Structure 1
Amino acid sequence: MFVDWFLLIYLTNPYMTTNLTFEKLFFALSLTVAVAGCGSASDKKDETPQDSSIVATSITETIPVPTGTTEVFKEFDWTTIPQSNSEIGAFPYVSAPAGFYIQEKDSYSESKTGYSHLKDFNKLIIFNGQSFFNAEGKVAELKFRRKDENAEWNQYGFDSSVDKYLASIGAKLLAKLNITKAQEDFLNKDDDKAIYNHIIGDPYNDPVRFYALNHPKGKIMFQVSSNTATGEIGVVELADFEQTIKAPTAVQMKKDIDANGKAILNINFDTDKSTLLPDGQKAVDEILTLLKDNSSLKIAIEGHTDNAGTAARNKTLSAERANTILKSLTSRGVASNRLTAAGFGAERPLVANDSDENMARNRRVELVKK
């Protein structure tokens, strides 16, 4: 029917007969026959749906549907990492490949310690392909350079040496990561420098490789990054945080004020806020006891910060924290004429802000006798 209809139009239309080539006619006829062969929906009513069901099932099995997101922190499952008894030497457990050296933190000279930078307690953010993990403990950063300054950087040689060495000591490759926008927003939501401070290299442009080593010397994790110009390794030997700051007591505060004219306190607040943490509130409770036991004592509450952040923000923050303490004391019965509050930001450091430990010392509150 369809073929007859087409031939009738063709033979009675002079334009088509003069302009359609035989090949075009043959193609059109073939297409028409194919369409006719398909039939209408009504012609298919009696067919079973088995074939379409099979196709749908095979597609589902071939293309797995994502079941979650990687924007989450979870505890790391060390039972998935077999213990290794390989010889690994001393921390940081990695040396430079032949032709390379580990540089000092702030210069191109060769490191004498085996690392570029060391932090007694810090963290590396580790990725296992499914979630992130805060690996806390002793952290070393290693930056590598070519011994021959005129030699071309050999990324393949560097990567091969590092990856094969880590495999040889029993370290397991967990994942490779190029930071996505969603992961960037997740990791930096509370600290816009979290990725910069806790993942080595440039994970936005160069994939970072993550390894875990379960060893009698400890649980150790590695970050490895390289590109066509440089290579870096981050190493963390996991350890629990050991609190070395003791809660100040009213008795000790009084001794310090009598001896030095002031008491220096490490009072903990929320990061970049003036909200007291629970142990910070306990310290304020001791200040209250001090003032109640010494009714003639008048003090200036002075807030201080480290030098991280802008000078203006640090000064504002330190003043807000000092005023938080003042308001807490006056709300519980201390006369306001016995207290003043001021913030000095990073203007009066106790020590140089050149390490995490020193920066922690500079983040303080001083009770100065008036």
Structure 2
Amino acid sequence: MKKPVLLSLLLAFTATLHAQVVTYETAKKKAKASFDQAIDAMRNYQATQALKYLEDALKTEPNFADAYGQMGLTYSELKDYPNAIKAFEKLKNLDPNGLGPVMLPYARALGGTGKFAEALAIVDQYAATHPSPLAKSLKANFEFAVQSATNVPFQPHNLGTNINSKDPEYFPSVTIDGKTLVFTRRVNGRNEDFYISQWDSVSHSWAPAKDMGAPINTEFNEGAQNISQDGSMLVYTGCDFPNGKGSCDLYFSTRNKDGGWSAPENLGAPVNGRGWDSQPCLSPDNNTLYFTRVTQDAGYDIFMSQRQADGSWGTPQRLDSNINTPHDETTPFIHADNQTLFFASNGHPGYGGMDIFYARRQADGSWGKPVNLGYPINTIDEDASLFVAADGKTAFFASDRYDSHGALDIYSFELYPEARPLQTLYVKGFVYDVKTNAHLQATLDLIDLQTGLVTASVKSDADGNYLVPLPVGKNYAFNVHKQGYLFYSGNFSLHDAKADTPSTRNIPLQPIETNAVTVLHNIFFANKAYTLEPGSLPELDRLVKLLQDNPSLQIEISGHTDDVGSDKDNLLLSENRAKAVVDYLQQKGIAASRLQARGYGETKPIADNSTEEGKALNRRTEVKITGVK
């Protein structure tokens, strides 16, 4: 029986096509030599040169299947996945059977361009006959990617030649005011040093980066640094230093009054152990240190250490299982809001090697379930070391993308809204003695009025200067206290704030003496009511502590109102409010003999009652020292 004409032509064409396929064994000597040179170049990590040799081989033998396969592998090594796909598909068209050994690299290349469904189909086909750990791992990655479905917005921008060079730049960190950028540069591919740049508000760009120099930069490698939000402290990693406790230790340096930096100090035990401690990051109040440590049971994990009252660091604690897994977690970054933690992991479901995740702090202080930042921020490759500025939307990271200046460069991009931390402003100023004007070292606590939790606790420096972060979207009590002084009570209502500028507030503290008075700005009552609202408790407890620490104090709690309503009603309301505070103090163990409650109604205004702002100031609770025995 005769074959149909069309089938006969197809079979003839297929036979001709296969006859044209060239393998290494059948290639011309010149093409084979070029192929061998490409393999040698790859062994010496010269991928770009290897591509030139492969192009030479293909000029000699256009249907050289092995050359296309090697070209696909080489482009994959360079993370040029679109060209890798072209090479693999050329191989597939020339010799479908020749694709077998490179099916997984082909799948990775497809995944590298976001073609996850196609990549998954190829992995499934390969795994059906060649099950392997790599195939299983890729299958899990691509299944996660297909299920995630939606890409997130991502438009990275290279920071330019003022920051980036032919050398690798990475680990960017920025102060809360957005004016100082510090990063690591591997100079001449060998020595890691720190560079610093200042934001130029005129040109709206970063000024040319400068070597931070001695005493921070040395002949040894310094890397993985983090500058504190207030710019006063630099923490970083030093490996194989002469005074090291382990292979890599954490060090710190503080900024001097003249703008220079102190000689680095090893954080010592218990933070630094005999192993590998690296990638530090400070909380915005400089009281919590997050870092990565190699463990015996779970590889790289994220730990935290709390600063103690004497300034030392406490025993590091491993973050809970919502963050750490039996696999690797690295590059922790706590945002200026002190509520959002970014980190890298290959233990949580993701797209590839290490992915970047974020987790929110819960009301009880624990961490919520991590969220993958999504594709294409995360890719099939290693993704880590993300920094997000205080505005909550400007993110910085390092990458060797197509428009880099030769190696890893620092990029920025606008983080999509769902992943943003709280925009964080700040208040700064100094603390001083109201009678002598002397600047004071004091403790400043920022308290979330909804949860009662202290979100930041900072100490003013030797000159009384301070900076406290203010995450937008919440209302805060602001307490400043020092032994021998009445505490200062302030309030920041940022729940609906649209402000984008910081505040300056110089804090007067009154020495504890008879007739000293302070306003309790965070004692709250409902309109025309005298039942204390829950937001009052942090301030009341601060007052309890003041009285406990100073057992000889006697005080008067006074209530005041605006002029709305009758004089009689306002007087009664103010008396009842003062009594409510005194009752709370007594419930906490303060003797009744030390307390007086007085209501003054509208008789002692401190502002004009003709405005709403003035009325709000007049509605207040005060504490006055009536005796110091």
- TM superposition score normalised by structure 2: 0.20
Q: RCO (CA 8 Å, sep 6+): is it higher in 1 or 2?
A: 1
Q: Which has the higher helix share?
A: 1
- What is the TM-score with the length of structure 1 in the denominator? 0.33
- Which protein is bigger by CA-based radius of gyration? 1
Greater strand share, structure number: 2
